[in-house]
Structure 1
Amino acid sequence: MSFYISFKNMVNSFGVDLTVTPYESPAKKSHFHYVGGERPKNDETPTAQPETRHEPVVPFNSQDAFVAQFLSGGEMEQGELLWISTKLYPKNSIVEVPSQLCQKYRVVGSSNWQGYSDVVIYILKGDTKHPDGR
């Protein structure tokens, strides 16, 4: 017996505005060459354009979603979040969540539930020393 659970209404109700930039592998980008010892200008626009989404982002767990780590050079705050999306994105995509501490996070793992429902659950990591998410 198969079943399907739709989460679209819940995702829309509890979502926050965020921006997702899908990861593009450097191996898939066009390679350049030198002409007369100079690199020609690359007029190609990047294929990975940022997308605006309205989906829920919640703390990974209540005990250590945000942790302050004290280093010899100062303090670094780290955050782990769960993002529930209705679209499949590759690992290492950058997710900008303006309502959160670090603001930009990197997708480090995912669990694809699209065989049973319409959601994919992502694990996001970020810290204050890497504001671009990388």
Structure 2
Amino acid sequence: MSFYISFKDMINSFGVDLTVTPYESLAKKPHFHYVGGERIEDDETPTAQPEARHEPVVPFNPQDAFMAQFLPGGEMEQGDLLWISTKLYPKNSIVEVPSQPGQKYRVVDSSNWQGYSDVVIYVLKGDAKHPDGR
């Protein structure tokens, strides 16, 4: 017996406008092409284009989703969020959340539920020392 759980209504109801930049490894991209058998170096490396999404983002754990971590030499604020999406993205993709201005989050883990649902759940990580998400 198979079943399918649809989250479309929840995603539409609780979603916020996000900007997602998919991760593209530079090591996997060619930096040259051939013209008439001659190797030509590429001048520009194409970058991933940001995508607009409307999907829910919630705190990973309400008690300690945003906390200060004390390190030798100082303090670093960090945050963990869960993002529920209908599209599959690779690890290290960057997500901008409007409720957290000036901070971008990086996808550090995911659970793909698309075998019997329409969602992928991502763990987002960000900290005060890396506002660009990298």
Sort the TM-score into its range (normalised by shorter chain): 0.7 to 0.9
Shift, 1:31, TM fit: 2.2
Partners in 2 of 1:21 and 1:83 — Cα distance? Answer: 14
SS in 1 for 2:10: helix
Asked if structure 2 preserves the Cα contact closer than 8 Å seen for 1:79 and 1:102, the reply is no
Runs of 5+ consecutive residues of structure 1 not aligned to the other structure: 33-39
Normalised TM-score (structure 1): 0.86
Change beyond 3 A, Cα 1:14–1:5: same
Matched, 1:53 2:79: no
Partners in 1 of 2:27 and 2:44 — Cα distance? Answer: 18
Cα-Cα RMSD: 1.9
Partners in 2 of 1:43 and 1:31 — Cα distance? Answer: 8
Runs of 5+ consecutive residues of structure 2 not aligned to the other structure: 33-40
After TM superposition, list the pairs within 5 Å mapping 1:1-134 onto structure 2: 1-31=1-31, 42-46=43-47, 48-100=48-100, 103-134=103-134
Change beyond 3 A, Cα 1:108–1:97: same
Asked if structure 1 preserves the Cα contact closer than 8 Å seen for 2:31 and 2:42, the reply is no
Normalised TM-score (structure 2): 0.86
% identity of equivalent residues: 83
Paired residues, what number?
A: 127
